[in-house]
Every structure is written in structure tokens, then in C-alpha cells.
A and B are shown apart, each in its own frame.
Chain A
Amino acid sequence: MSFLKWFSGILGKENKKEPDQAKPISKRLTQNLNTLKEHFSLAPDLTVRQFQIHDGTQVALAYLEDLVDKVAINDQVLRPIMLESKTIQDILNYLLPIGKMETAQNWEEIDSSLLAGKSILFINGNAHVFILYTQGWPQRAIEESPVETTIKGSHQGFVEKASTNIALIRRYIPNRELKIKKLSVGERSKTTIFLLYMQDIAKPEIVWELEKRIKKARIDAIINAGELEELIEDHPYSIFPQFETSERPDHTSMQLLQGRIAVLVDHSPRVIIAPMNFTSYFQSVDDFSFRWAIASFTRFLRLSAIFIATVFPATYIAIISFHYEVIPMDLMLSIASSRARVPFPPIIEALLMELAIEMLREAGLRLPKSIGQTIGVVGGIVIGEAAVQAGIVSNIMVIVVAVTAISSYIIPNFDMASSIRLSRFPIMILASILGMVGIIIGVTIIIIHLTSMESLGVPYTSPLAPMRFSDWKDTWIRIPLRKMINRPLSVHPTQLKRQGHKKE
């Protein structure tokens, strides 16, 4: 009974205390300023500049310091109003050289505008205020993303301001069909979300579905794009990412042109790209700037890296604890002699090394860049060499773990690489219990899981299952661009032919 009570208590009393939020503003300036100070109590960065213009009208400009562009406030707002204006009408007609200006009549709008870095112009005797778009906040310069580096691609990366990011994408796709939908998520943060897609390529159902999911997302505040990603993805319990996040405008534009949708989250330099397929995580922007044969070879390297990263340590464990018959004669002797001193069973040995490598990786991430590298080298040499010397692990195991670590970093997408790194641990344990049969079981489970997954309703393993042969031109290999006439079917584009080929 008490449980029910507690339960109803949660649902029942939603304390709604904002009766004055929707309250209209009054005509009197002093009253308005008092209300404003009430709303923004304990906010020392609120600045209110009150003054008279020539005809004696009392005017006040309110803004949050540091959220506004001070040069714009001084030069484009205060100077003309204070020095040149004769009447209020002058100001509104031609004296405010500001790109965007709105009027507002209620307090809710005023508060959110102030918090967004806009400045508010109160005029005595008017029952409405003017909202001036004077935002300007500390912002970092556009630079290349440290996570997604390319050799031949552009060296621009997204920044924390969504509008800048849109500009970066528009530079790649100056096309009317690039549509942008503006949404907002977060009860408190009211984070602005932009949905970018090519209207004549992206399937409307997918756009609609994504929009619906974003609108349904309930959260206090979106700090980072990753949070939104988790709220809107199809399988939150899966270890595999279902959307891609990228910091590269060129990559994002490429994906847009394939019919995918980009979700820009304000405050976050990462853009969510959806829907994704498992195989598209292994494509990189560089693939299209390298010669196709070289790019195809790199693709092949990445695909083999998936297998090495998931099953190589497990296979080694299975072989040396169950199937010694499959090792070539001479190799068998050298493996056996290096294993002879190790007191642990292979699974413990492997887990020790794998965990050490993962810790090294994590440690390298946390440390400042200059020390990070040192830790990597020192850790690698010290742990590897000393552990072998001390007889805790065998030489061969160090090689196995190192090869696995290297191949897991070949995968260009960070999220996918992390998922694949994680997936090898259960397989290793299965291999130590059941040998090769265990590996088969583990891999089968993963494959079943992957095939049953969807990303925004699009089959995750497409073009492999369902089989779409025409998409293989950009999956296993990268065929020359002249032959790449169709967009990938896996994304269900409404316009299949790429436009350059339309006339032919």
C-alpha cells in the first residue's frame, strides 16, 4: 500500500510553479526591470544599461555579460541609440545595424533569449521588447579533429556551435535541396538540434522517424551528442553503435549525399549520422581520395582487422589448449618452449595482457599528449618485455595481443573499434572453455545479433543480409568513381542515380 502511495506521489505532485513566466510585460520600464532582476536573482553576469535618448524616452538594454559579442553591443547597439537617435522610431527604422531582431511580449521568451546570449531592449511606454541577436561567446577555432584524422582529406573539423557547423556543411553542398529542420531537446537545456538531409535523396519515412524519436526524447539536458544518440537509437542494450558520430564536415556531406541524415547538436562538435550499416563503419573519407586499388586494399585490411581483433586471441587460446594438432610442427615447438615457463593457463595469460593493453590505452588518453606517448612506449616495452622476462606471459602471447591491438586500431570508426575490442573478451572466455567450438558459438551469436539489428528501421547488416550486390562496389572494394553511378541501396535513397550521371 505504501508502495502504491509512493508511486502515486511521484506521478501526482508535479510542482508547477511558473505562473508569471507567461506573464506579459508591462508598459512601465522600472516595473519590467524589477521583474527581470527577480527572475535573474543571483546572476551577477546580468548587465542592465539604462539611459535616455534625445526625446527623453527611458531605454534599457539587458544582456548576460560574456554571452554576447561586446563589440557588437558597443558599436552597433549602444552607440547609434545613445548618440544618433532622435526618436524611438529612428532606432527601429534604420539605426540598428544588427542582422536579426525580433519583438517579444512575454517573459518566457525574454528569459530564454537572455540565456541564449541575445540582448533585450526595453523601451519605456512599450508593452513589447526588442530581442537583438548579439550572441557571441568564447569559441575555439576550426581545426582538424584529433580522433578522425585523414591524410588527403580536408583539415577542417566541426566546432561547438551548430550554426558554424551548418555553414561548414553548406560550403560542401551549396544546394537548395539541403534541408534543415530545427528541433529542441532537453527540459532544462533546450538544446537546439538541427536535422540536415537532402530532400530529394533521403527517404521521407526515415527523416520522419528520426524526427519523431528526437521529439520523444526526454532528458534534463543534452551535454553531448552521444547522449542524444543513446536516446534515439534502436537497440540501446547492444554493444554495437547504430549511428555514426563524426567531426568531419566532408565526411558528413558525403553521407548526406548518400541519403543519410545528419543530426547537429548545438554545443557538441560531433554530428550524428543515421541510418548506418555495419559495413559503412569501415569506410573512410580517404578511401575516395586514394587510387581505387589502394583504397580497396585498405578496405581489405580493415575487414581482416575485424576478424583478427575479434577472434585472434581466442583462436590462439583454443589452439594451444585444445587443438595443438593444427599448429605447424616447427611453430609448435617454439610456442611450447615459450609457454613452458608460464605458470598460468592461456586464458589468464591472455586476459592479463589484454587488460594491460586496455589500461595503457585508457591511461594514454587521460594523460597530456606529450606524456601520453611516453606512457605508450614505456608501458608497451616494460610490460611486454618484463612480463616475458619474469615468466608471467609468453613471447607468443605478447605478439598475439600486440597484433590484436594494432588491428583494432585500423578500424577507422572509434565507436565501432571500441565495440569490436569489447566483443573479443566473451569470445576468449568461450574459447578457453570449449575451444574452437566456443569461438564458433561466440561468432555465431554476434552475427545473429548483428543481423537482427536495425538502424532507424534500416537493416544493420545490409548489404550483406539482405544481400544487395550492387552495394558491394563500395563495401569490400572501392570501385573507380566513374563506375559508382548509383547511391547505396542500403540507405533506401529516393533518388538512386548520382546527379553527375543523370544526363548520360
Chain B
Amino acid sequence: MKKVRGILLSLMLVGLSTGCGDQIYLEEAEVILGIGIDLNENDQLQITNSVPIISEQTAIASQMVTTSSRNLRQAKDKLDLSVPGKSALGKIQNILIGRRLLEKKNLLPYLDVFFRNPKSEINARVIAVKGTIQEVDHAEFQGRVPGIFIKDLIDKSYESRNSVLTNLQQVHRQLLNPESTPYLSEISVVNKKVLISGTALLNRNGLYTTSLNKEETSTFLVLLEDTESPIPLNFPYRTGEMSILVEEAKNEIQTKYENGRFQFDIKPKLKVVIMEAIGEIDFPKQRDVLEQFIQKVIKKRYEDLICKFQQHQIDPIGYGLYVKAFHYSYWKKIKDHWSEEFAKAKVTVTPSIEISNFGIKLYSNKSMADIGYSRYFHAPLPVSTTLAYVKNNNSPGNDVPKSVMISY
């Protein structure tokens, strides 16, 4: 009897507990998949939400709800008035920031509501928009929900190393840490189509300073040592083109403080694979020559990029961390204006390249060399590689393929 009473009592307590309070039925939730934050012409905050319309027939219809207000919290309240469900922040895939806001206001206070709310998605991608949110709103998304479309776009281009990926959590660190400055992936709308345009760089105050294009973004990833999947780089070689994949990147950095300015000796150690080289090359005899050539290219790329950072007084790589680690006494003095100090710093780059793989050599026979056609290729990616020979049987006596398609 005592036992039964105990069980009954605990059942009653379970029933009385406040568990049901935060119950939110999926079909009644207004699941916000994407949020766009921008300023309108009158510098009023403009919030756009991408919400899928959940109905029996279609799941892909979605609506964009736009409202203007003073802050995000107010915007949320205002949006709640216009949509039938409870707005839910837990599935935000991306937060788009308009160029006008990035140029005029510090980003941090506007993202504060996401950091503060424990239910909001911390993995949301923060994306800069080259233009206004209105343009994105009017773009075409091939019949898909805009929030998911943009998320997929960013994820895929990050995988193919054409873009960086910064989520909300990383932005928080980048905005608050004095050792580095934030960088966001950037999209633009061309002919009503959303495209990746590169990387947007913000300064210490969270304001937009400059952008990197696609090629620069790839080099930027090498600088960040983000080689989870290999980074492709393309550059002209002699008369033709050369494509390499950076498989491993390790930037050894030594810092010095001399004559009132910092000096960084960056020694990138890259392991590269030659994907494709058009032109007459004789492996492996020319290995050293080739490595030296790539070294030059890499050095140039590094220097150009760092020069650009210094010009704009930004430090997205986070060299400040090295100063903080190795020269703390100086760092304490300059940490509030590290970006200016970095702009004055002297940077030397001495890369060392190791070609880990040449691939295999096709058509080394004389006839092909004569026509200046020599091609090396390699397939280092774990993705499936298909190689299709298109044989030209019409030309008599010449059974070498005319063209080779390599797709990764």
C-alpha cells in the first residue's frame, strides 16, 4: 500500500510539473529558416524572414515577411502579429546581412538576440549580401525554400573551396576577440540568381571594409590552413594553364619585434598535387623547376593577400594571436589598435612546396609533344573520378584521343 501511494504521488507530481509549457507542435510552429537584416533608405532596420508555408499539399512554398523596426526583438514581435504560428528560432539556417548595414553599423548588437536566446540555432551561417536583402527576396530559387537554397549553396561552395563558412558561433568569436577581424561568405544577386561572390571582410568595429574574389578566397583558405578537403588553385604556366590542389598547408610563423614594428616570417609548407598542366613538361626531371615555379606563385599570392589586409587594416587570419602568445608585454599595449599595428608590420613569405603527386602522364609520344599537347592528371579526391575517352576514328592512322574529359 505504501508503495502504491508512493507511485500515485509521483505520478501526480509528474502530471503537475510544468513540462508542457514549452511544448510547440511542429505544424503550428512558424519555423524561420532564414533571416535577412538590412537597413532601408531611411536607415531603419529591416528584417526579412523566410518561413516555409506548411500545408498539406506542398512543403516548398515559402513566404518572405519583411518588417522594419528599431531592433530584432521588436521585429520578432511585429512579425508574430502577421503570421499565424509561434515563431521558432531553432532552425535558422542562415542570417543574411545587407551591405548597407555592414557598411554603416557594427554587426554585433544586431546578432545579440541570437546569442542570447538559448533556443536559437548556433550553427546558422552568417552571410554578407553584396547588395540589398530586397534583391535576394526577389531572386529565383528554382522552386525551393530560399533559406534552404542559400544554405545548400554556401555549404556546397565551401566544400568545393570557393567560399568560406562562418557560423554564428564563429562570428561571435571573431567580433569579440581583438586578435582577429571577422570574415563572412558573400553572396550577390545577378539576373535574379543568387551566386557566391567571395568573402566579405569586416574590420575591428564590425564594419565592412573589402571583399575577396573567388581566387583570393581559395588562397585565403590556404592561409587559414583549412585543408579539410584539398584547395584547388589555378594559374598560368608558360603558355598554358596549371591547376594544383593544395592537400596540406602548414604556415609556420615566427614573430619578431624590431624597430617599433612587428615582423612576421611566414614559412608556408604546402603539399600539392598537380591536377593538370598543359604544356611541355618532363616529369620527374623537371620536378625542382616546377616546385620553384609554384613557390613563386604561392609567394606572390600570399603577399598580395596580406598586402590587401594591411592596406585595409584588417587581420582576418588572426596574426594577433601570435603576438599575444609570444610578445604579451607589447600586446597589452597595442591590443586595442592591433589592426593598425598589423598594417605597419613587415611580412616575409618563404614558401616551400612539395609536389606529392604528379599523376600519370598521358600522350608523351612525339606526335603529341609536337603539337604542344602534353597533359598530366591525377585524381587525388575521394570523389568518383570518371575519365572518358573520345576517340576520333575518322582521322586515319591517328588513334590517340583528341580530347580528354576529366571530371571530379
Query: In the complex, which residue of chain A has the Cβ closest to the Cβ of B25?
Result: A321
For residue B60, give the distance in angstroms from its CB to the closest CB of chain A.
7
Query: In the complex, which residue of chain B has the Cβ closest to the Cβ of A346?
Result: B25
Interface membership of A173, Cβ < 8 A: no
Known contacts A324-B90, A437-B19; decide if A340 and B56 are in contact (CB<8 Å): yes
- Of the stretches B26-34, B107-115, B158-166, B380-388, the one at the interface is B26-34
Query: Which B residues lie within 8 Å of A441 (CB)?
Result: 14
Query: Which A residues lie within 8 Å of B52 (CB)?
Result: 333, 336
Is the pair B19, A438 in contact by a Cβ cutoff of 8 Å? Answer: yes
Interface membership of B91, Cβ < 8 A: yes
With beta carbons under 8 angstroms apart, the residue of A321, A336, A435 that contacts B59 is A336
Query: Which A residues lie within 8 Å of B59 (CB)?
Result: 333-334, 336-337
Is the pair A337, B56 in contact by a Cβ cutoff of 8 Å? Answer: yes
Q: C-beta contact mask, B244-279 vs A, less than 8 Å → 1, else 0? A: 000000000000000000000000000000000000
Is the pair B26, A324 in contact by a Cβ cutoff of 8 Å? Answer: yes
Query: With A and B bound together, what is the CA distance between A324 and B22 in angstroms?
Result: 12
Known contacts A332-B31, A341-B56; decide if A434 and B24 are in contact (CB<8 Å): no
Interface membership of A55, Cβ < 8 A: no
Q: C-beta contact mask, B24-49 vs A, less than 8 Å → 1, else 0? A: 11110101010000000000000000
Query: In the complex, which residue of chain A has the Cβ closest to the Cβ of B20?
Result: A433
With beta carbons under 8 angstroms apart, the residue of A320, A434, A435, A438 that contacts B26 is A320
Q: C-beta contact mask, A429-451 vs B, less than 8 Å → 1, else 0? A: 01001110110010000000000
Q: C-beta contact mask, A345-356 vs B, less than 8 Å → 1, else 0? A: 110000000000
Q: C-beta contact mask, A308-339 vs B, less than 8 Å → 1, else 0? A: 00000000000011101101011011111111
Query: In the complex, which residue of chain A has the Cβ closest to the Cβ of B152?
Result: A329
Interface membership of B345, Cβ < 8 A: no
**Residues 38-79 of B at the A interface (beta carbon under 8 Å):** 52, 54-60
Known contacts A329-B91, A332-B91; decide if A434 and B19 are in contact (CB<8 Å): yes
**Residues 401-449 of A at the B interface (beta carbon under 8 Å):** 430, 433-435, 437-438, 441
Query: With A and B bound together, what is the CA distance between A458 and B49 in angstroms?
Result: 61
Q: Choose among A325, A330, A341, A342 the residue with the greatest number of B CB atoms under 10 Å from its CB.
A: A325
Q: Choose among A339, A340, A346 the residue with the greatest number of B CB atoms under 10 Å from its CB.
A: A340
Query: Which B residues lie within 8 Å of A335 (CB)?
Result: 26
For residue A321, give the distance in angstroms from its CB to the closest CB of chain B.
5
Query: Which A residues lie within 8 Å of B31 (CB)?
Result: 324, 332, 336
For residue A406, give the distance in angstroms from its CB to the closest CB of chain B.
25
Query: With A and B bound together, what is the CA distance between A433 and B27 in angstroms?
Result: 18
Query: With A and B bound together, what is the CA distance between A342 and B27 in angstroms?
Result: 9
Interface membership of B395, Cβ < 8 A: no
Query: Which B residues lie within 8 Å of A346 (CB)?
Result: 25
Is the pair A333, B25 in contact by a Cβ cutoff of 8 Å? Answer: no
Known contacts A332-B91, A337-B55, A434-B17; decide if A321 and B29 are in contact (CB<8 Å): no
Main secondary structure of the interface of A (DSSP, over half): helix
Query: Which A residues lie within 8 Å of B20 (CB)?
Result: 433
Q: C-beta contact mask, B75-94 vs A, less than 8 Å → 1, else 0? A: 00000000000001011010
Is the pair B23, A321 in contact by a Cβ cutoff of 8 Å? Answer: yes
Is the pair B148, A329 in contact by a Cβ cutoff of 8 Å? Answer: yes
Is the pair A336, B17 in contact by a Cβ cutoff of 8 Å? Answer: no
Query: With A and B bound together, what is the CA distance between A435 and B88 in angstroms?
Result: 17
Query: Which A residues lie within 8 Å of B200 (CB)?
Result: none
With beta carbons under 8 angstroms apart, the residue of A333, A341, A342, A433 that contacts B17 is A433
Query: In the complex, which residue of chain B has the Cβ closest to the Cβ of A394?
Result: B27
For residue B238, give the distance in angstroms from its CB to the closest CB of chain A.
47
Q: C-beta contact mask, A159-194 vs B, less than 8 Å → 1, else 0? A: 000000000000000000000000000000000000
Query: Which B residues lie within 8 Å of A438 (CB)?
Result: 14, 19
For residue B211, give the distance in angstroms from its CB to the closest CB of chain A.
28
Q: C-beta contact mask, B142-180 vs A, less than 8 Å → 1, else 0? A: 000100100100000000000000000000000000000
Q: C-beta contact mask, B1-29 vs A, less than 8 Å → 1, else 0? A: 00000000000001101011011111101
Known contacts A340-B55, A340-B56; decide if A324 and B29 are in contact (CB<8 Å): yes
Query: With A and B bound together, what is the CA distance between A437 and B14 in angstroms?
Result: 11
For residue A431, give the distance in angstroms from its CB to the closest CB of chain B.
10
Query: With A and B bound together, what is the CA distance between A438 and B22 in angstroms?
Result: 14
Main secondary structure of the interface of B (DSSP, over half): loop
The total of chain B residues at the interface (CB under 8 A) is: 31
Is the pair A337, B23 in contact by a Cβ cutoff of 8 Å? Answer: no
Known contacts A329-B91, A333-B54, A333-B59; decide if A322 and B23 are in contact (CB<8 Å): yes
For residue B156, give the distance in angstroms from its CB to the closest CB of chain A.
14
Query: Which B residues lie within 8 Å of A433 (CB)?
Result: 14-15, 17, 19-20
For residue A427, give the distance in angstroms from its CB to the closest CB of chain B.
12
Query: Which B residues lie within 8 Å of A430 (CB)?
Result: 14
Interface membership of B340, Cβ < 8 A: no
Query: Which A residues lie within 8 Å of B33 (CB)?
Result: 329
Query: Which B residues lie within 8 Å of A324 (CB)?
Result: 24, 26, 29, 31, 88, 90-91
For residue B364, give the distance in angstroms from its CB to the closest CB of chain A.
49
Query: Which B residues lie within 8 Å of A336 (CB)?
Result: 26-27, 29, 31, 52, 54, 59
Query: In the complex, which residue of chain A has the Cβ closest to the Cβ of B11?
Result: A426
**Residues 94-146 of B at the A interface (beta carbon under 8 Å):** 119, 121, 145
Query: In the complex, which residue of chain B has the Cβ closest to the Cβ of A329?
Result: B148
Query: In the complex, which residue of chain B has the Cβ closest to the Cβ of A441?
Result: B14
Query: Which B residues lie within 8 Å of A337 (CB)?
Result: 27, 54-59
With beta carbons under 8 angstroms apart, the residue of A322, A325, A340, A341 that contacts B121 is A325
**Residues 92-148 of A at the B interface (beta carbon under 8 Å):** none
Query: Which A residues lie within 8 Å of B58 (CB)?
Result: 337
**Residues 360-376 of A at the B interface (beta carbon under 8 Å):** none
For residue A37, give the distance in angstroms from its CB to the closest CB of chain B.
53
Query: Which A residues lie within 8 Å of B56 (CB)?
Result: 337-338, 340-341
Query: With A and B bound together, what is the CA distance between A330 and B145 in angstroms?
Result: 10
Query: Which B residues lie within 8 Å of A333 (CB)?
Result: 52, 54, 59-60, 145
Query: Which A residues lie within 8 Å of B22 (CB)?
Result: 322
Query: Which B residues lie within 8 Å of A327 (CB)?
Result: 26
For residue B91, give the distance in angstroms from its CB to the closest CB of chain A.
6
For residue B149, give the distance in angstroms from its CB to the closest CB of chain A.
11
Q: Choose among B19, B27, B119 the residue with the greatest number of A CB atoms under 10 Å from its CB.
A: B27
For residue A416, give the distance in angstroms from its CB to the closest CB of chain B.
23
Query: Which B residues lie within 8 Å of A435 (CB)?
Result: 19, 23
Query: Which A residues lie within 8 Å of B27 (CB)?
Result: 336-337, 339-340, 342
Known contacts A324-B29, A434-B19, A435-B19; decide if A329 and B24 are in contact (CB<8 Å): no
Query: With A and B bound together, what is the CA distance between A322 and B15 in angstroms?
Result: 17
For residue A296, give the distance in angstroms from its CB to the closest CB of chain B.
30
Query: Which A residues lie within 8 Å of B25 (CB)?
Result: 320-321, 339, 345-346
For residue B358, give the distance in angstroms from its CB to the closest CB of chain A.
41
Query: Which A residues lie within 8 Å of B60 (CB)?
Result: 333
Query: In the complex, which residue of chain A has the Cβ closest to the Cβ of B119?
Result: A325
For residue B397, give the distance in angstroms from its CB to the closest CB of chain A.
55
Query: With A and B bound together, what is the CA distance between A304 and B174 in angstroms?
Result: 44
Known contacts A329-B148, A333-B54, A341-B56; decide if A322 and B17 are in contact (CB<8 Å): no
Q: C-beta contact mask, B306-318 vs A, less than 8 Å → 1, else 0? A: 0000000000000
Q: Choose among A336, A346, A437 the residue with the greatest number of B CB atoms under 10 Å from its CB.
A: A336
Chain A contacts to B: CB under 8 angstroms: 320-322, 324-325, 327, 329-330, 332-342, 345-346, 430, 433-435, 437-438, 441
Q: List 16 A-B contacts (CB under 8 A).
A: A320-B26, A321-B23, A324-B29, A324-B31, A325-B121, A327-B26, A329-B151, A333-B52, A337-B55, A339-B26, A345-B25, A433-B17, A433-B19, A434-B19, A437-B19, A441-B14
Chain B contacts to A: CB under 8 angstroms: 14-15, 17, 19-20, 22-27, 29, 31, 33, 52, 54-60, 88, 90-91, 93, 119, 121, 145, 148, 151
Apart from the given pairs A333-B60, A336-B29, A438-B19, 13 other A-B contacts in the complex at a CB distance below 8 Å = A321-B24, A321-B26, A324-B24, A324-B26, A329-B33, A329-B91, A336-B27, A336-B52, A340-B27, A340-B55, A433-B14, A433-B17, A434-B17
| Among all A-B residue pairs, the 5 with the closest Cβ atoms | A325-B90, A434-B19, A333-B59, A339-B27, A337-B59
